[in-house]
Structure 1
Amino acid sequence: MSSPEDIARLRQLKESEPLGNAWITWEQTRKQMEETALLLDDPDPTMRSMAADEITSLSNTLSDIIQNTFPSLLVPQSTTKQLSALLELKSGVGGSESSLFLSDMLRMYQRLANNASWKSSVLAKNDTEGGGIKDAIVEFKGEGAYDALRWESGVHRVQRVPATESSGRTHTSTVAIVVLPLAEETESHDEELFSMDDIKLEVMRSRGAGGQHVNKTESAVRLTHIPTGITVSMQDERSQHQNRRRAFQVLTSRLMDLKITREMEERRSTRRNLVRGADRSEKIRTYNYAQDRVTDHRIGLTMKNLTSVLEGDGIQLFIDAVSKHHDESVMLDLLEDKET
């Protein structure tokens, strides 16, 4: 019978197998490239040409291993890869134009969720006149949703001519996005995140449209986490019980986000130039309609096809690029830690 130590050792060997195979491929390719280089001095011009082509192919293979294979295997596996995501959108500078852009962004993320086979549902939404949305909270359920969306947190800026602008002037508006980790709902709360003794629970009548239901029932719920001052209000559901459940779901996500952000900051204390995904006040991306471009300011990536980002699958390119930048930064951290 295997001991726990033997099982742990076997698991470790199994986990290191892909890295070992990648290293063997690297060594074999490098050796093959050295042998092929000798043929560049062959008197036969056809042989020299074939050798040059082969070296180009082998060089591309080595570059791919360095840039993609090694980073994907050396970067520690994400501890949040199984988590779903909670996306909060809030209109900022720009008034009604900001609200209209928020509705565009909401559709963009819902389309992304559909392509990724995540289940999306709007938990709360504050509509405005003219088809805009002042703020919204959306749930994206599916493995990898949080890891994919987490770097979308920050200020998104749009530059375009509003439909109501008669002089054709370009306006600048903003939408602030916060992406929170979403764990599976359970009957009991996570005691590592909060204690019920730290929660102030208030019930009140709902505000806004709803007729007699709004005036007569105390269905709205407000939770306050006393140690952090985090407040969550929920009134979109019909019953107090449903609003209470949703409010605790959002509170749990915000507290989990605090915990993950704190742990991430502690791990990267020696390096400060990572993508600052946790800085929600930072302008991270600009959508410029006149120039038909989208620019991510953190990694300097510009895409000259705004429609494909907002109405197609172009947003995936930015998500992948920022995620790759993060992985490369983590690798640099690991290398620096080994040197010190």
Structure 2
Amino acid sequence: MTSKILIVGAGIAGLSLARRLKHFDLDFDIIDEKPSEYKSGAGIALPFNAVRELKDLKVFDSLAGRYHQVKEINYTTTSGKTLGKANLTDPPFDQEMFIAMKRQDLHAALSVGLEHKIRHNTKLLSVVHADDQVDVSCSYELLDGKYDLVVAADGIHSTVRSQNFEGQETIRDHQMRCWRFIVTLPEHGLEPIYMMGKTDLFMAYPISANAVYCYGHIHEHSPSADLTDNAADNLRKIFSGYGGPVPEILSKLDEVKIVTGRLLSVTEPRFYDRRIVFVGDAANGCSPLIQQGAAAALEDTNILADALAMQNIDQALESYQARREARIRWVVQYSDGPLPHLLKMESWIGRAMRYLMIKSRGPLNVYGWKKLATDRLLSNS
């Protein structure tokens, strides 16, 4: 019997799952509350495991000319003094690329061939467990009804997750304000640089020869965090003392769209509950320390689709959790572990200890990537 599957969310997780289900001739509906013309103003960094999944999806070749290959990572002080650096073409990464690009370009590539399947401007109203199905109500009534499986691919603010675990806290707010934007810097010649202050950090990540994706954050309880509602003013105030490429970037803030947000995580990883399964940020959203948001979503959906193609739904969900749990719990812990201690970086002792760790281990994200690439206990097998 053909299973009736509803995917909630047409972001990276939802689209990658839809492509895999289509490959296996498994039917599905997909809804998204955003309009079809919605465009993200942010960039995205895709480490080795994300690139590997995109190749397996047969999407990577279509991205040619739209990404920047990242070959080196640099961690520095606010003045630009090097704390640690790593070459991303050395083992264990010599068999795969690291890239960065506009998020909307990745989204567009994943959407190809699925346009007619996505019901945009459609809000999920309710999900209710009903024996071996889920009773769904949404703003497009023709898709109301019972589904054999509902896939929560609707991000960190997942409506499916909040309704399924009604009354439970499913999101952790780390009390950090963050900003993302893309700036034009002709012939910048940069490799990714992470500039570390106290609780503040500025990242400049090239996505082409002439454009850089930028990210900044600060803890709200930092003495320096006297923030207003004006994103550009906040960025200028917090990062005006930084060196390197930051002064030139700050001079262009009036020309760019700045996405303001808060650093959020799930309170714990979720895999499935009866006939609702969680993928991507809805399942395991966490700090972007090791850039595993898209990578985890692509891995989640690969493993889930494979299981659904070979097993009945209940067996598939058990297999999905069994193969993903150790890796996901490690990623969330490694990514979020430093955040409760961030205010200690206001002390020179705290910063000295952090700098010592970076100098001994190298860049913190590269250390995490090496762990994911080499630790057999964290594999998806």
TM-score normalised to the size of structure 2?
Answer: 0.23
Higher strand share: 2
Higher RCO (Cα < 8 Å, 6 or more apart): 2
TM-score normalised to the size of structure 1?
Answer: 0.25
Higher helix share: 1
- Please say which structure displays the higher CA radius of gyration: 1
